Chains A and B, each alone.
Chain A
Amino acid sequence: MFAKKTIDDDTWEDLEDALLKADFGPDVTDALVTELRGKVAKYRTTDPADLQRMLRETIEERLAKLDSTLKLTERPAIVLVVGVNGVGKTTTIGKFAKFLRNYDRTVLVGAADTFRAAAVEQLATWADRAGVGIVRPQMPGQDPAAVAFQTIERAKAEGTEIVIIDTAGRLQTKGGLMDELGKIRRVVEKQAPISEVLLVLDATTGQNGLAQAEAFIEHAGVTGLVLTKLDGSAKGGFVLAVQEKTGIPIKLVGQGEGINDLTGFTPHVFAQKLVG
C-alpha cells in the first residue's frame, strides 16, 4: 500500500483494511484513519512513504503515552499474574522468572493455579528451567489464596526479592471465579503490598480483549499488560484500544516458546513491527 506513487482513495481503503486486519477494531481504525487524513491534508503530502511514517509515529505516540516500566522496588516485590484460560500465564511466569534471574534477582514462584490439571507441574518445570524456587499447594484443589499466602511467607523468611504468583485461568464472565481473584488479592495485601498485577493477553485475541481487560481491572486491580504469542501471525492491534480505554500500560511482550523470549515493551519496536 505504501509502494504506490501517490496517496489516493485506494490507499485509504487499504490502510483501513490493514488496520482492521491487525485487530485494531472498527473504532480505533476510524480514529486513526481520520487523524492521518488530517495530517496528510495539513502537511500537503501525496507521498505514501510519508503516510507510512506518520502511521508509525501516530501509533508509537499513542502507545508511548503511558509508562511501561515495571515497578518492583518493594521487598519482596509481589507480582500477581492473571488472565483468561490458555493465554500463556504459566509460560510467561517461567520466562519472567528467567528474565529477573538474568538481572540477578532472587525469585520465588507460587503455584496458585490449583484448578487446571497438571498446572502445578507445568509451572514447576518452568521454575526448574529458570532456576528459581517454587511453592506448591499442599494438596490438589487447595484454596489458591492459601498458596499465595504461603509463598509470601516463605519469601519473607528467606529474604527473596521478587515473588511471582500464578493464578488459574478464568474467563472474565465467571463472576465467582473473578471474586476468587479479589480474595487472593486481599489475602496477599494483608501480608505485603502488591507491586504489580499483570494481565496476560493473547495477541490472537480480537475485540474481546477489551472486555477481558475491563473485567480483570475491576476485580484484580491490574497494573500492567503482558502481550503473548506475538511470534505468530497475529498483530495484537487490540492492545492499543485496551491501553487507551483502560489507561493500563503494556509492560512485557512474549514472542516465542523459548525461555528467553520475553522482553520489555517498547512502543517504537511494536509500531515498527506493525507498520513495517
Chain B
Amino acid sequence: MATFGTLSDRLAETFKNLRTKGKLSAADVDGTVREIRRALLDADVALEVVKDFTATVRERALGDEVNKALNPAQQVVQIVNEELIRILGGSQRRLEFAKKPPTVIMLAGLQGAGKTTLAGKLAKWLAKDGHTPLLVASDLQRPNAVTQLQVVGEQAGVPVFAPEPGNGVGNPVKVAKDGVAWAKQKQHDVVIVDTAGRLGVDAELMKQASDIRKAIDPDEVLFVIDAMIGQDAVATAKAFQDGVDFTGVVLSKLDGDARGGAALSVASITGRPIIFASTGEGLDDFEPFHPDRMASRILDLGDILTLIEQAQSAFDEDEARAVAEKFATDSFTLDDFLKQMQQLRNMGSIKKMMGMLPGAGAMKQQLENFDEREIVRTEAIIQSMTKAERVNPKLLNGSRRLRIAKGSGMSVTDVNQLVSRFEQAAKMMKTVAKGGMPQVPGMGPIPGGGFGRGKAQQAKKKGSKSGNPAKRAAENAAIATGVKPGVAAPSGSGFGLGGAPAPSEEDLANFQKLLGKG
C-alpha cells in the first residue's frame, strides 16, 4: 500500500498537466477513476462496491456541480470523500436502548473477529455510562470461550451469566434465553449475549444464531467484523444479514494498519450503519464510529478531524495570539519556546498525532524513529537557563553554555543546537508574522499561508463535515507548521490551490529537527 503513496498524491500526479485548466474532460476523469478504483481495491473495498462507487464518482466529476474554487485533483478527491461518507452512513448512529429494560444486545460474527473481547469492552463502556450490563456466555463452541468471557467480565467489573462450561457442552439458545430472564430478575438494564463465531457458509451454526435471535428478541444485533477482512466481506456480511439480520456493525482491530475497506463494503451492501470501532487490546480501546473519519482513512487522507480536535483542546487561543504578537514585535523568548513545546506535549503522543497526518502511512518507519524524549531534553536545557538568559539568548557565552549543559545533563553541543534552532524558528516566524512566506527547506509551499484564518475556520468547522480537502489541507498545514511556532499570525490571501500537501519524509525529518532531534 505504502508503495503507491496516498490517493491524493496519485491524483495530483495524474493532474499535473491540468493545473491550468479549470475543467475536467472525460478522458481525464477516466484516468482518475482508474486510480481511485485501484486505491479502493488496495484498501480491500469489495469489487462490486468499487464498481458502483467509481461509476457514481465518474458521473459526478463530469457533471456541472464541480466546485470552481478547487483544482481538478481536489475536486475529485472532494467528490470521492463525500461519496464515501454518504455510503458509510453520513452521521453517527447511537445504540438504541429498549423502552422497557433490559436492552438486549446480541453479538455475532466470524471466528476470530473479536466478539468476546468486544463484549467486555461494550460492557465496560456501558457501565461507565451508568448502565448495569450483564454478559451472557452463549459461545459454547470454541474451547474456553466461556472462561475468556468470565475473565473479561471480571476485568470490566461486570457480572457474567455462564451456567454452562462450554467446549461443546450445553445449549446456547437456552443459555441466551435464561440469561435474559436472569437479567430481568436481577434488574440489569442491558444484556450482552456473546455467541460462537461461525463461518458464513456454515448453515447449521447460522441456524443456531438465528434461533438465539428468535429466542431473545434482541434490540440490537451487532455484527463484529475484522477491519482487515478482504473481498470476503461481501459474502460474509450477506450471509449474516440473511442468517441473523444484524442491526449494526462493529469494526474491530482498527488499530492495525489495514485501511478498512471492509467498512465501506459492509455498509454499502447491507445498508446497516457502523456503530462502534474497536481500536486495541485494552478494554478501553473502544469508541463510537465516525464515518467521515473512516472515509479519510480509506483514502489515506489521514484522520485530520481528530487531529484538529486534539489540537483545539490543547492550544489555548489567547495564548496563541499572545505568541503571535511576540513574533511580530520580535520579543519571542526561549520561555515562550518552552511553553509552546509544553503545549505540544499536551496534545498527547506526538507519534500518534503525526500518524493521523495524511500520507503518514508511508512514514511509519520514520515515526518509529522519532524519540519523544527529545522534547523532555530540550525542556531540561531551557529550564537550566536563568531568567535573563531565556529572555535574551544573546547572553549565552561559552561558560554559561557549559553551566547549562551540566545543569541539564546534556552536552554543550546540544545546547548550541537548541539555541540555533530557536533562532531559526524565531526568524522564520517573524517572516510569517510580517505576512511573508516562511522559507523552510523541505516544507514545500504552504498553501495560502492562512494561519490566522486556519484557526478561525477550525473553530467554525467543528462538527461540519466539509469534505473539502483543500480547506483541510490548509488547516493541516497550519497545524503542522503552527504546532511549534504559534498559530495565529495574520496573513494574506485565501487558501491556495497548491494541491494537497501531504508531508514528505523530508518534511517529517524537518519537523523532527525543529522539535529537537538536531
- Give the interface segment out of A37-45, A119-127, A190-198: A119-127
> Is the Cβ of B151 less than 8 Å from the Cβ of A208?
no
How many residues of chain A have a CB within 8 Å of chain B? 47
| Shortest Cβ distance from residue B15 to the other chain A in the assembled complex, whole angstroms | 21
Tell me if B113 is interfacial: C-beta within 8 Å of chain A: yes
Query: Interface readout for B145-168 with A: 1 if CB under 8 Å, 0 if not?
Result: 101111110010000000000010
- Give the interface segment out of A20-28, A146-154, A181-189: A20-28
| Shortest Cβ distance from residue A181 to the other chain B in the assembled complex, whole angstroms | 15
> Is the Cβ of B281 less than 8 Å from the Cβ of A233?
no
Q: A21-B47, A86-B114, A229-B111 are in contact. Are A208 and B148 (CB under 8 A)?
A: no
Report Cα–Cα, A202/B236, bound state, in Å: 14
CB interface residues, A 171-215, toward B, < 8 Å: 171-175, 202-209, 211-212
Report Cα–Cα, A174/B257, bound state, in Å: 10
> Is the Cβ of A206 less than 8 Å from the Cβ of B230?
yes
> Is the Cβ of B200 less than 8 Å from the Cβ of A232?
yes
How many residues of chain B have a CB within 8 Å of chain A? 51
Report Cα–Cα, A211/B226, bound state, in Å: 15
> Is the Cβ of B230 less than 8 Å from the Cβ of A205?
yes
**Residues of chain B contacted by A171 (CB below 8 angstroms):** 253, 255-256
Tell me if A74 is interfacial: C-beta within 8 Å of chain B: no
**Residues of chain B contacted by A216 (CB below 8 angstroms):** none
CB interface residues, B 258-298, toward A, < 8 Å: 258-259, 261-262, 281
| Shortest Cβ distance from residue A140 to the other chain B in the assembled complex, whole angstroms | 9
Query: Interface readout for A56-88 with B: 1 if CB under 8 Å, 0 if not?
Result: 000000000000000000000000000011111
> Is the Cβ of A238 less than 8 Å from the Cβ of B230?
yes
Q: A231-B199, A231-B201, A232-B199 are in contact. Are A117 and B112 (CB under 8 A)?
A: no
**Residues of chain A contacted by B47 (CB below 8 angstroms):** 17, 20-21
> Is the Cβ of B257 less than 8 Å from the Cβ of A22?
no
| Shortest Cβ distance from residue B111 to the other chain A in the assembled complex, whole angstroms | 7
CB interface residues, B 402-418, toward A, < 8 Å: none
Q: Per a CB cutoff under 8 Å, which of B1, B239, B256 touches A173?
A: B256
Tell me if A234 is interfacial: C-beta within 8 Å of chain B: yes
Tell me if A100 is interfacial: C-beta within 8 Å of chain B: no
Measured CB to CB, the nearest residue on chain B to A234 is B232
Report Cα–Cα, A88/B114, bound state, in Å: 12
> Is the Cβ of A206 less than 8 Å from the Cβ of B201?
no
Report Cα–Cα, A197/B463, bound state, in Å: 48
Q: Per a CB cutoff under 8 Å, which of A121, A122, A206, A232 touches B44?
A: A206
Q: Per a CB cutoff under 8 Å, which of B42, B256, B261 touches A172?
A: B256
Tell me if A1 is interfacial: C-beta within 8 Å of chain B: no
> Is the Cβ of B232 less than 8 Å from the Cβ of A204?
yes
> Is the Cβ of B199 less than 8 Å from the Cβ of A23?
no
Residue contacts A-B, CB under 8 angstroms, 19 given: A17-B47, A85-B112, A115-B281, A116-B148, A117-B147, A117-B151, A122-B143, A124-B144, A126-B143, A202-B228, A203-B232, A206-B230, A208-B256, A211-B257, A229-B111, A231-B201, A232-B236, A233-B236, A234-B232
- Give chain B's interface residues, CB within 8 Å of chain A: 1, 38, 41-44, 46-47, 110-114, 116, 141-145, 147-152, 155, 167, 199-201, 226, 228-233, 235-236, 239, 253, 255-259, 261-262, 281, 364, 368
Give the 6 A-B CB pairs with smallest separation, nearest first. Answer: A206-B230, A86-B112, A206-B44, A117-B151, A234-B232, A118-B148
